[in-house]
Amino acid sequence: MSQTIESCEASFNPKEQRKALFSYLTRIVRLSHEKLNVRTSTDRVKQGWARVMISAIATYGDLLDGVQFDELEDRILILEGVKRKIE
């Protein structure tokens, strides 16, 4: 039962979700790149894989913005802690 609760808590942790999404998106970009380089594919198929790759890269960029906000939040919390110690 506790494993279920821990896995549910982990699934709601935004940082862990983002980390998992980075992994999935990396695989999608690699697969798309491989599919684009297949010489026997038609232009239509390659165009579809190019769309998948562009979408994955755009999502990757959006996730990076979220990481930057998380890092800024962590830095602010550290600075607030230092400020409290000084006061």
Looking at per-residue pLDDT, the higher value among 21 and 67 belongs to 21
Averaged pLDDT score across all residues of the chain: 84
Q: How confident is the model at residue 15 (pLDDT cuts 50, 70, 90)?
A: confident
Rounded (5°) CA angle 71-74-77: 150
Stretch 22-49: mean pLDDT: 92
Least confident of 29-33, 51-55, 58-62: 58-62
Distance CA 82, CA 55 (A): 41
What is this structure's pTM? Answer: 0.65
Question: Domain locations in the chain?
Answer: 14-86
> What pLDDT, on a 0 to 100 scale, did the predictor assign at position 28?
95
